[in-house]
Amino acid sequence: MSDFENFFRTDIVPEELSIDSLSFVGDAVYSLYFRIKTLRSAKRRTGYQHNLTLLYVEAKGQRKALEVIEKFLSEEERIIVRRGYNSRGARKRGDDENYKCATALEALVGYLFLKGRYRRLEELLEKVENDVSSWKKCAERDSKT
């Protein structure tokens, strides 16, 4: 195993981190995942890739993503989502429902990543990707009108 692979294997115990710290990590993991996915599917100019990635990573898109996966979550995962939704970081934006849901999703992603539950994380993110494909078609259609 390379040093780079070992870098992601961590002895950090997610349960000992604040929910906002989990969201911080989750934001990075989620964004990187969809940036790479976008590169694979949209081999065009970076402006197009950026706009496509925004469908996934903006708060509004993350709220939709959370709605897509909620019914598939275990009780443990639901607890993390609930904590993320009610976190101090989520409340910074006041009553912004999109931001609260985005923080909740990021907390879950960070938690699963740091627990090393990569298959589960990929399973959930693939559900998001499959659903967002329909948003992408709508966005492309709307941009032509």
Could you give the residue numbers annotated as active site? 27
Q: Which residue has the tokens 């990929």?
A: 122
| Euclidean distance between CA atoms 109 and 115, whole angstroms | 10
Residue type (1 letter), 49? Q
Residue 13 near residue 97 (C-beta atoms within 8 A): no
| Euclidean distance between CA atoms 91 and 73, whole angstroms | 23
| Euclidean distance between CA atoms 32 and 16, whole angstroms | 24
